[in-house]
Amino acid sequence: MTMKTIKILGLLVAMTPLALSAQERFATRNGHITFYSSTPVEDIEAHNRKVTSVWDASTGAIEFAVLIKAFEFEKALMQEHFNENYMESNTHPKANFKGKMTGITADEVKTAGTYVVTVSGDLTIHGVTKNVSIPGSVVVGPSGVVKASSEFIVKPEDHNIAIPGVVRKNIAETIKVTVDLSLDPL
């Protein structure tokens, strides 16, 4: 072997742990979260397609950051009331989640398939943190793209979100939240 070949082999061996580690971390900057409130008076739906998330499959650690002002509503007035009156997005600009995903291992992420998972950790909305455990699913595609999804309920009162009595009948006591992420390897 020549010195050049030895150096190249040495470099490849040294970089292998970095490559393996990188394949165990996944992220997105354009995840999608929807929330839906249904009452006999009115249905309210909003979408946010600017959700950031990072997941480390080797440890299960997962984090989300959601800009509150990025939620889009069908009616501009709903969006204005949501940001100013309910979520107070100038004071509480983000919702966050930090926790752990179980039900899938770093080895399983290397194999295409569908996995039932649980995400447990701290959900912070409107400055109030609650410990949650949420069921979900992870689909690993043949190209290595990971799609994660979940559906769960949030109660505004659990996060000190005040609903004025005059519109109380328009907003459900429980809000359905749907999360859809397409996570790419880092």
Per-residue pLDDT reduced to its tens digit, 33-88: 999 999 999 999 999 999 999 999 999 999 999 999 999 999 999 999 999 989 99
Structure letter (DSSP) for residue 19: H
For residues 78-103, average pLDDT: 95
- Please state the three-class secondary structure of 51-98 as a single string: EEEEEECCCCEEEEEEEHHHCEECCHHHHHHHHHHHCCCCCCCEEEEE
Nearby residues of 26 by Cβ (< 8 Å), 6 or more positions away:
54, 55, 57, 109, 146, 183, 184, 185, 186
**What is the model's pLDDT at position 164?**
80
**Residue of higher predicted confidence among 162 and 101:** 101
In angstroms, the first-to-last Cα distance of the chain is 34
Closest CA to 183 of 133, 149, 136, 135: 149
**What is the model's pLDDT at position 64?**
94
* Angstrom distances, CA of residue 87 to CA of 39, 91, 146: 19, 8, 31
> Is pLDDT above 60 for 7?
no
**What is the model's pLDDT at position 2?**
53
With pLDDT > 90 as the criterion, what percentage of the chain qualifies? 78
Residue 122 — pLDDT band, cuts 50, 70, 90? very high
For residues 122-136, average pLDDT: 97
Question: 25-185: what fold?
Answer: Lipocalin (2.40.128)
**What is the model's pLDDT at position 144?**
78
Task: Give pTM, 2 decimals.
Answer: 0.84
